[in-house]
Homo-oligomer: A and B are copies of this chain.
Amino acid sequence: MSEPTAIPALAARAAALDAADELGKLRERFTLPDGVVYLDGNSLGALPAGVAAATADVVARQWGELLIRSWDESRWWTAPERIGDRIAPLVGAAPGQVVVGDSTSVNLFKALVGAARLAGPGRTRLLVDAATFPTDGYIAQSAARMTGLTAVPVDPADVPAALGPDTAVVLLNQVDYRTGRLHDLPGLTAAARAAGAVVVWDLCHSAGALPVGLDAHAVDLAVGCTYKYLNGGPGSPAYLYIAERHQAAFDSPLPGWNGHADPFAMTPDYRPAEGAARGRVGTPDILSMLALEAALDAWDGVRIEDVRAKSLALTDFFLECVAAYVPQGLVESVTPAGHDQRGSQVSLRTENAREVMGELISRGVIGDFRAPDVLRFGFTPLYVGFADAERAARTLGHIFG
């Protein structure tokens, strides 16, 4: 298929923006297929360059040669805390508060039940983002059922009004997975805590895309995945943040032997480890965990504030290109225009969205579709440039043309 013709002024703008982009050289830290504009890093991040070699070493040498000895010699045992401390600065957490392992859903269960227990008796409601990614709602229902709470769906904007002396826990997403809307983590955290509730943030669509500031904003608990903007690989382990002030009282519903203070004593009574390690459950998934560790090398020397600045410039420019290339009325952005309300993706509502995304992918522009009518384009500043944004919008316009 031939490429549609570019608007010269936009192509020139893209070239100039890319030339001035300090982060542009980071693309070399990733292996991306030729000819593809990859705008789905908000679902599965691209492959960092060092992962293949690291994984091969884990398999052939650490497992194949050292075998059981690698639990110590290859530092497998301490990987959940060590890699947690690599993620911590990206979400604004001091060391010792983030532990890696399990899926986001499993960590949500730990966090929500743990939060309900921290909240104490007399509080009966668990407020949960009404537009949440579904697993958060399902797990919130289960956690509520098992702790005697009632899960109540609330629009994040209405949370301050819904808070009261009966609020035990509040579960919110920093960035909405469908619309890309950025919620007010500092303000909503402060409001929830002022009401005496324990607040849990899901960072899946924000960590690695913008500054989170968990410690600075006194967040209680948080979870997130590592396979989106952190590029850990398909289904790579998630993480749990337990603010230091809550660690001694954090009471996990999944007290597996890895979270024991002295796991190899193998005593019949559970005594939780100090620190974030009490968020551990079973034996950590070493292949995936060490692939993630290697993937995090892509962040060496990168300031998340610079990532955020480029992300906003990319989504601004993409929206400008969409306005120029796509005939008016055919797509509508459901992502807020204001920078303070925008994550790192642009979601466009259109008719036949599933088919349109199929066409885009067949032309080398990879985003994704979310039912019923949304095209999602994720902008990952570490490996997406302004020419990518221009080509994506131009291809979209051509499909409608």
Contact = CB atoms under 8 A, between A and B. Distances in A.
Interface in A48-69: 51-52, 55-56, 59-60, 62-65, 67-69
Given A43-B68, A288-B288, A227 B139 contact: no
A76 interface: yes
Nearest to A285: B235
Contacts of A266: 133-134, 178, 370-371
A255 B287 contact: no
A40 interface: yes
Interface in A217-242: 225, 227, 233-238
B254 A139 contact: yes
Interface residues of A, number: 84
Contacts of A238: 282
Interface stretch (A190-198, A257-265, A321-329): A257-265
Contact of A52 (B59, B69, B234): B59
A70 interface: yes
Query: What copy number does this chain have within its complex?
Result: 2
A365 interface: no
Nearest to A109: B254
12 contacts: A44-B71, A46-B67, A47-B64, A55-B55, A105-B256, A134-B270, A137-B268, A142-B254, A235-B285, A286-B288, A287-B288, A287-B291
Contacts of A147: 146
Interface string A337-355: 0000000000000000000
A88 B47 CA distance: 33
Interface in A10-49: 31-33, 36, 38, 40, 43-44, 46-47
Contact of A235 (B65, B178, B287): B287
Interface string A93-115: 00000000011111001000100
A281 interface: yes
A284 interface: yes
Contacts of A178: 266
Given A104-B282, A138-B255, A254-B105, A44 B68 contact: yes
Contacts of A277: none
Contacts of A146: 113, 146-147, 253
Nearest to A256: B105
A257 B142 CA distance: 12
A61 to B, nearest CB: 10
A45 B380 CA distance: 39
A178 B268 CA distance: 13
Interface in A127-141: 130, 133-135, 137-139, 141
B56 A135 contact: no
A289 interface: yes
Contact of A283 (B225, B366, B371): B225
